[in-house]
Amino acid sequence: MKAIIFYISLSMLLSIYATTYSQCISIELSARWVKGYDVFQKDSIICYPELIITYRNMSDTNYYFQKVSESRIGLPMLPIGHLLQYPIEEYLNPDYLKRAKMYGKYSGENYTVIFGGSSFSKGWIVVNDTSNIEVEQEIDLINDDLANIYEYIYRENYDKQRDSLNEYNTHYTLSDTVPKLILDKFKDKFVFLRPGEIYTDTYNLVGFKLVKGCFTFNIIPYLPAYVYTTIWDKSQSKYIEVKIELPKVVGNYKLYSGSFNSNKIAITF
């Protein structure tokens, strides 16, 4: 079976929506080192970094907006761009530990980790700094390695809770984007901030520590005022993706969209 290869437009991911950033909202990146268990040796304690995303409302208005990144229990989500050549039995009964241990080493390589903007997934994508951002590029193999490591961690530690967790969806339905559902069902996909308030999300970077390399974490500095859904197009006899505008007001919070203050950080392993 041939490998399945996906392509992305890196220039689209890195496009800057505004050169003068608003002072109302800031989304800041920082990191800290923590102690935890080794991914493959449960009785071994190691130190690894966590990425912290801090959302800050510096205005005098209550705002809500989409998160720039989503996660599964603090684990980042990355794309898999290749279909690995597993025997048929491993498709029927996947060996996630084996897949996780097949990661490569990327010491000395420089990467940009991009997230945010109007992407469907609000996941991360790792781009080698040697890539030509003006042309479409194949998704780098490091994304596969990281995705396999985090899939193993999730299934080993959290898979039994899957029924009680909000499963991740890339699209909303037409009826999802009403204030009541945003406040209840989809509250974890948005940030709600009163004046002066902050909110933080934390992401486990142990996978990046395993694969090595230098990673610059970078947010696309734009908060969209819409989400995506799919509808059946009779004229084309297929599903198409369309944008749904978010409500201007949810509860006591006004929708914030557009640019914001941000920073980037680099971590080398």
pLDDT tier at 239 (50, 70, 90 boundaries)?
confident
Residue 90 lies in a domain: yes
pLDDT score, position 84: 55
- The answer on pLDDT for 10 being more than 50 is no
Q: Which amino acid is at 150?
A: Y
Q: What is the 3-state secondary structure (H, E, C) of the chain?
A: CCCCCCEEEHHHHHCCCCCCCCCCEEEEEEEEEEEEECCCCCCCEEEEEEEEEEEEECCCCCEEEECCCCEECCEECCCCCCCCCCCHHHHHCCCHHHHHCCCCCCCCCEEEEEEECCCCCCCCEEEECCCCCCCEEECCHHHHHHHHHHHHHHHHHCHHHHHHCCCCCCCCCCCCCCHHHHHCCCHHHEEEECCCCEEEEEEECHHHHHHCCEEEEEEECCECCEEEEEEEECCCCEEEEEEEECCCEECCEEECCECCEECEEEEEC
Percent of the chain with pLDDT over 90: 58
Residue-wise pLDDT tens digits, 107-148: 999 999 999 976 656 899 999 998 766 555 678 999 999 999
Write the pLDDT tens digit of every residue in 35-54. Answer: 999 999 988 999 999 999 99
Neighbour count for residue 20 (Cβ, 10 Å): 6
Q: For residue 178, how many C-alpha atoms fall within 13 Å in the half-sphere facing its CB?
A: 6
Q: Which residue has the higher pLDDT, 224 or 161?
A: 224
Q: Which residues form the domain of 62? A: 7-268
pLDDT in tens, 171-221: 677 777 889 999 998 889 999 999 999 999 999 999 999 999 999 999 999
Mean pLDDT comparison of 79-93, 167-181, 184-198, 228-242, highest-scoring range = 184-198
Mean pLDDT for the chain overall: 84
CA-CA distance, 46 to 111, in Å (whole number)?
A: 24
Cα–Cα distance for residue pair 135/20, rounded to 1 Å: 26
How big is the chain, counted in residues? 269
Examine residue 2 and state whether it is found in any structural domain, yes or no.
no
Domain assignment present for residue 221? The answer is yes
Tokens (6 digits) for 238: 């297929």
Q: At 56, is the pLDDT very low, low, confident or very high (cuts 50, 70, 90)?
A: very high
Nearest CA to 210 among 33, 38, 36, 52? 38
* pLDDT at residue 80, rounded to an integer: 80
Phi, psi of 268 (to 5 degrees): -110, 135
Distance, CA of 263 to CA of 258 (rounded, Å): 16
In a domain, 168, yes or no: yes
**Integer CA distances (angstroms), 230 to 8, 10, 168, 216, in order:** 20, 24, 16, 33
Tell whether 83 is covered by a domain: yes
Q: Which residue has the higher pLDDT, 233 or 106?
A: 106
pLDDT above 70 covers a percentage of the chain that reads 78
pLDDT band at 20 (very low <50, low <70, confident <90, very high): very low
Say what the pLDDT of residue 166 is: 47
In a domain, 1, yes or no: no
Q: List the structure tokens of 191.
A: 């940030």
pLDDT, position 136: 57
Total Cβ atoms within 10 A of residue 27: 22
pTM: 0.84
Mean pLDDT along residues 157-170? 57
The structural domain count of the chain equals: 1
Would you state the structure tokens that stand for residue 128, as one six-digit string? 């080698």
Please indicate, yes or no, if residue 261 is contained in any of the structural domains.
Answer: yes
pLDDT over 60 (residue 85)? no
Q: Is residue 63 part of a domain?
A: yes
